[in-house]
Amino acid sequence: MRTSIALQTPTNSNDLGALLARRGTDLILAVEDGNALIRCHVSSATAAAMLAPLKGRAAGLFRALSGNLVEIDAAVTLATAIRMLEAKAAAESRHLN
């Protein structure tokens, strides 16, 4: 899958998996007024790296899925979103090497 970034997600879909599949991506980032919404399905290792910047405040922002996947649906500040995306890139880079 590819990663794409959207400035606006004009949908009220509660089925994140279907929304991601329709867009052919593993991550959606919506940014508005200095805040961000990150919605994605990632491996548990990548999710752990992405949630680390939240320092224990990640309760309710993720849920375990089958197949060693985790769904993240997090409303955070833009600065935190950037740290989460950097952590995702680093985790995936380590996995590929």
Mean pLDDT to the nearest integer, 63-80: 90
Question: Could you tell me if 9 and 38 are in contact, meaning their C-beta atoms sit under 8 angstroms apart?
Answer: no
pLDDT at 92 over 90: no
Higher-confidence position of 51 and 14: 51
35-44 pLDDT, tens per residue? 999 989 899 9
Q: What is the percentage of the chain residues whose pLDDT exceeds 90? A: 28
pTM reported for the whole predicted model: 0.74
H helices within 4-77, ranges in order? 16-23, 44-51
